Chain A
Amino acid sequence: MGKYIIKRLLLAVVIFFFVMLIVYALLRCLPSSYVENIARAKSQLPGSKSYQEWLDQLNAMYGLDKGIFAGYISWLGQFFTGQFGESWNYAVPVIDKFNEVIWISFWMGLITMFFELIIAIPLGIIAATKQYSKTDYTISILALAFISLPTFFFIALLQLVFSVKLGWFDPFGLIGRNHLQLDSFHQFLDICHHLVLPIVTLVIISIGGLMRYTRTNMLEVLNADYIRTARAKGVSEHKVIYYHAFRNTLIPLVTIVGGSLPSLFSGALFTETMFKINGIGYTSYQCMIAGDIPFSMFYLAFMAILTLLGNLIADILYAVVDPRVRIA
């Protein structure tokens, strides 16, 4: 097991190296007007160095004066020694900005995952146990509809119905206008109130996939021989489903849920942007369209690590949870 994990880890490191090489090469090929803009702005400050001097200094600072590969190696060295540079867009160290915005995204992701699990898994199981019934069709179609739902359209609908027509929630933002006058408990409630619509959005758009996944796996298990045996020996249907079948369905579920744990940190671009919540999705989007290379590189590396970590966790869990799996 230990050997297996080490092998997977090493592979992940190699993949990370190449992924970031591609990403770095892509970003280096973009027009680097942002550096020129900064250099021009700085050179116009009173008593400043000339534009060319600033440009050279900035290029040296960001490793832009080297070739792509050499620049990449120096970036990698800086990344692994924790020097993430300074965000051009926000003019603060990347890591500070990241620390500032990541937690709201994480909490949103965590709450979403909680609701996702308690809604999607039971519905998927119900659909599987009543295959070809009206309930099954309804749940299946709903799941597909949720998958097909364009996030931005759904958010606009929610804002129209619940913010504009009914007036229950504020359309954007994380805090109300009198937030600062409230005591800390009510401030917390205020934030919760503002999080309702974003969480609803995230839950709705994510439960479809898990619902279908649960249903497919449950169906597979229900068709297995040991279920037929259990029924044959007269075990009650309830016990067959919730004791024998469900436990076996849990294997793929645990794998996939475990694998998606790192993505709690990845943020939600559309939801955060449209609800104007200052999370990692919104911040990274702002940086990407502004051509903020240090932050974008950091964010992309972070995302790549999350993906690799997710795969790794899923693989390991698969081996750990299912006793039938033997690692070669």
Chain B
Amino acid sequence: MSDNLDKKTNTAASGEEQQYSLNDDRRVKVLSPGAMVAKRFFRNRIAVVGLCILAFMFIFSFIGGIVSPYRESEQFYRTDILNKEFAGAAKNEEFRYMSADGQKFSSILQAQLVLVAKKAENFTDGVAHFTYSGVNYNVYNEGTDFYRVTLEDGTDIGIAYKDIASSSRKGENLSYEFVYNALKAYTNGESSFRVGGVAYTIDQDGSVLKGGEDYAFINRYIINAISPDIFLSRAFQEELVEELEKGAEKFLFTDEDGVEHEYIIEYKPSVKQWSIRQGTESRVYDTYAFPSKDHWLGTDRNGMDMLTRLMYGGRVSLIIGFIVEAIATFLGIIMGGLSGYFGKWVDMLIMRIVDIFYCIPSMPIIIILGAAMDAMQVAPKIRMVYLMLILGFLGWPGMARLIRGQILSLREQEFMTATEAGGISVSRRIFKHLVPNVIPQIIVSVTMGVGGTIITEASLSFLGLGVKYPFASWGNIINDVNNFNVLTSYWFIWIPAGTLLLLTVLAFNLVGDGLRDAFDPKMKR
């Protein structure tokens, strides 16, 4: 009444002409029941905090999705350097053989040659002899680790060498004559030689030039590309050999197309080989990226923006919560209203149905249905609809019980007798006069029910049986925590979603609690 007093003194002090008579209604500030409830509600600070959280969640979920520059299931990429096996290299410690044109340098002859070449004392003036199957052969030591085998009459059989001559041009084989002359010059440290009337020069790196043009090159390394369709260019091989001799572990090389690649050299002592791996840039999904300027909460396992997923997930969770509660409330009002109003056998029947529904183990049933939908490969969108229908259908008995209880007491009151006397139809009596009186309880129950439904939906999605990819839901975002690596290393995947979920459900409960207190006329504060 202090408001009133203030008003009175105010008007008296200012000398206003508005003087109401004592029984004038305008003299007393009258609040409608709704305004009373609102006033009581807003006086409850905790409930207001809950309301603010809810407002934030709605803005975050429904407007956030529009404001966000990304789409719900937009995937992001990053370039990643993959080290692929590119080439293998080995220093040649074995003889290699080449047959002269039209001759057969059989493996037995090759073995005989090795036996002879092993001992330096076999050679006199660079020539040794051996006999095999009654044929005499001459072996000429033409240079370091370089031998030529001929028949007695001087016909070339073939050559054995350790330094390898390769052509500078792709797909071109070097002739026997060229290899022989080139190696001879190389192993003896000469700088030029002639083959077939053409002059070649050779430098100490082993490059063979034909009239100033690259023709071939010689070195001790065998270098092979892993993939058969790759030709290792001359420049690359030279560069590689240089790096191998330096003992480098990685080097950069720019190929003919001007693309720079990084190569990693790894020596495998067991097989005395080097393996060369090439760093190739490839585009991969930007999975589990840490929070950055582009992605405030990082990206998830599919390379989608986490913050945007959270916004859409909130939308899904809230919508499901409300639709499920709407279904449950609708069924509950009808069944509870009928049951409470008619009583007797209708009440008996409906209440037994309620008992049966109460007793159905709902979580296991939903899990089994979810697993069955998995097996039938129901489309994610249809699945969401089924989920809402199932949850709604299993949720109505609580509401029906609540409404029935209220109506049972309300229908005995005088205003119901008045409606009966007024000849108002039964359906109007139930749904226009009885049910509106239960609305406060319904509102409280729905508010808290939405919170509960959101948790149920999140739990199912967490088990992978609720909302499915590509749709986001807070539950299926947290689902990733089943991967222990995510649990330990990527907090931004599951902690924000869990916090939002907790806050939302808490806010619904706080608001529901606040509303219950506000609706309660016995409430003193």
- Chain A: residues with CB nearer than 8 A to chain B? 11, 14-16, 18-19, 22-23, 26-27, 30-31, 33, 132, 137, 140-141, 144-145, 147-153, 156-157, 159-160, 164, 171, 269-270, 284-285, 288-291, 296, 299-300, 303-304, 307-308
The answer to whether B458 touches A26, judged by C-beta atoms less than 8 angstroms apart, is no
The answer to whether B502 touches A148, judged by C-beta atoms less than 8 angstroms apart, is yes
CA distance A151 to B481 in the complex (A): 13
CA distance A296 to B366 in the complex (A): 12
**Is residue B128 contacting chain A, with contact meaning CB distance below 8 A?**
no
Known A15-B356, A16-B359, A307-B361: A153·B501 in contact at CB below 8 Å = yes
**Which residues does chain B contribute within 8 Å of A304, judged by CB atoms?**
359-361
Query: Contact residue range for chain B?
Result: 35 or more
CA distance A289 to B373 in the complex (A): 10
- Contact partner of A23 (CB less than 8 A), chosen from B363, B365, B455, B494, is B365
The answer to whether A289 touches B367, judged by C-beta atoms less than 8 angstroms apart, is yes
**Is residue B444 contacting chain A, with contact meaning CB distance below 8 A?**
no
Known A156-B498, A288-B367: A148·B458 in contact at CB below 8 Å = no
**Which residues does chain A contribute within 8 Å of B331, judged by CB atoms?**
none
The answer to whether B363 touches A269, judged by C-beta atoms less than 8 angstroms apart, is yes
- Contact partner of A303 (CB less than 8 A), chosen from B356, B361, B368, B506, is B361
Known A150-B502, A151-B459: A156·B478 in contact at CB below 8 Å = yes
The answer to whether A307 touches B363, judged by C-beta atoms less than 8 angstroms apart, is no
- Contact partner of A31 (CB less than 8 A), chosen from B364, B375, B475, B487, is B375
Across the interface, name the chain B residue whose C-beta is closest to A34.
B375
Extra A-B contacts (19), CB below 8 Å, given A30-B372, A150-B501, A156-B487: A11-B355, A19-B360, A23-B365, A26-B365, A27-B368, A31-B375, A145-B502, A147-B509, A148-B502, A148-B506, A149-B502, A152-B459, A152-B462, A160-B488, A284-B364, A288-B371, A289-B367, A290-B371, A291-B371
Can you identify 25 A-B contacts, CB atoms within 8 angstroms? Answer: A15-B352, A22-B356, A23-B361, A26-B368, A30-B372, A31-B375, A31-B376, A33-B375, A132-B525, A144-B506, A144-B513, A148-B455, A150-B462, A150-B505, A152-B459, A153-B478, A153-B498, A153-B502, A156-B481, A156-B487, A164-B488, A171-B484, A288-B364, A291-B372, A307-B358
CA distance A173 to B46 in the complex (A): 40
**Which residues does chain B contribute within 8 Å of A171, judged by CB atoms?**
484
The answer to whether B364 touches A299, judged by C-beta atoms less than 8 angstroms apart, is yes
Interface residues of B in 325-363 (CB under 8 A from A): 352, 355-356, 358-361, 363
**Which residues does chain B contribute within 8 Å of A303, judged by CB atoms?**
361, 364
The answer to whether A152 touches B360, judged by C-beta atoms less than 8 angstroms apart, is no
- Within the complex, the shortest CB–CB distance from B496 to chain A, in Å, comes to 11
- Within the complex, the shortest CB–CB distance from B517 to chain A, in Å, comes to 11
Across the interface, name the chain B residue whose C-beta is closest to A266.
B361
CA distance A255 to B367 in the complex (A): 30
**Is residue B510 contacting chain A, with contact meaning CB distance below 8 A?**
yes
A-B Cβ contacts below 8 A, count? 114
**Which residues does chain A contribute within 8 Å of B487, judged by CB atoms?**
156, 159-160, 164
Chain A interface mostly helix, strand, loop or mixed? helix
Known A156-B481, A156-B494, A157-B498: A150·B46 in contact at CB below 8 Å = no
- Contact partner of A150 (CB less than 8 A), chosen from B458, B508, B513, B525, is B458
The answer to whether A141 touches B46, judged by C-beta atoms less than 8 angstroms apart, is yes
**Which residues does chain A contribute within 8 Å of B359, judged by CB atoms?**
15-16, 19, 304, 307-308
**Is residue B451 contacting chain A, with contact meaning CB distance below 8 A?**
yes
CA distance A218 to B24 in the complex (A): 44
Q: In the A-B complex, list the 6 residue pairs whose CB atoms are closest, starting with the nearest.
A: A153-B498, A148-B505, A303-B361, A148-B506, A289-B371, A30-B372
Across the interface, name the chain B residue whose C-beta is closest to A27.
B368
**Is residue B369 contacting chain A, with contact meaning CB distance below 8 A?**
yes
**Which residues does chain B contribute within 8 Å of A145, judged by CB atoms?**
502, 506
Across the interface, name the chain B residue whose C-beta is closest to A285.
B367
CA distance A164 to B374 in the complex (A): 33
**Which residues does chain A contribute within 8 Å of B502, judged by CB atoms?**
145, 148-150, 153
**Which residues does chain B contribute within 8 Å of A150, judged by CB atoms?**
455, 458-459, 462, 475, 478, 498, 501-502, 505
Interface residues of B in 447-468 (CB under 8 A from A): 451, 455, 458-459, 462-463, 465
The answer to whether A300 touches B451, judged by C-beta atoms less than 8 angstroms apart, is no
- Within the complex, the shortest CB–CB distance from B186 to chain A, in Å, comes to 63
**Which residues does chain B contribute within 8 Å of A269, judged by CB atoms?**
363
Mask: chain B, 488-517; 1 = CB below 8 Å from A; 0 = not: 100100110010011001101110010000
CA distance A151 to B478 in the complex (A): 12
- Within the complex, the shortest CB–CB distance from A277 to chain B, in Å, comes to 15
Mask: chain B, 395-436; 1 = CB below 8 Å from A; 0 = not: 000000000000000000000000000000000000000000
**Which residues does chain A contribute within 8 Å of B451, judged by CB atoms?**
148
The answer to whether B360 touches A23, judged by C-beta atoms less than 8 angstroms apart, is yes
CA distance A220 to B478 in the complex (A): 40
**Which residues does chain B contribute within 8 Å of A19, judged by CB atoms?**
356, 359-360
The answer to whether A31 touches B509, judged by C-beta atoms less than 8 angstroms apart, is no
**Which residues does chain A contribute within 8 Å of B458, judged by CB atoms?**
150
**Which residues does chain A contribute within 8 Å of B525, judged by CB atoms?**
132
**Which residues does chain B contribute within 8 Å of A153, judged by CB atoms?**
478, 494, 498, 501-502
The answer to whether B361 touches A291, judged by C-beta atoms less than 8 angstroms apart, is no
CA distance A269 to B502 in the complex (A): 19
The answer to whether A152 touches B481, judged by C-beta atoms less than 8 angstroms apart, is yes
**Which residues does chain A contribute within 8 Å of B462, judged by CB atoms?**
150, 152
The residue among A31, A137, A145, A156 with the most chain B CB atoms within 10 A of its own CB is A156
**Which residues does chain B contribute within 8 Å of A164, judged by CB atoms?**
487-488
- Within the complex, the shortest CB–CB distance from B348 to chain A, in Å, comes to 11
**Which residues does chain B contribute within 8 Å of A16, judged by CB atoms?**
359
The answer to whether B369 touches A26, judged by C-beta atoms less than 8 angstroms apart, is yes
The residue among B364, B367, B371, B508 with the most chain A CB atoms within 10 A of its own CB is B364
CA distance A55 to B160 in the complex (A): 72
**Which residues does chain A contribute within 8 Å of B484, judged by CB atoms?**
171
The answer to whether B375 touches A291, judged by C-beta atoms less than 8 angstroms apart, is yes
The residue among B352, B374, B376, B462 with the most chain A CB atoms within 10 A of its own CB is B462
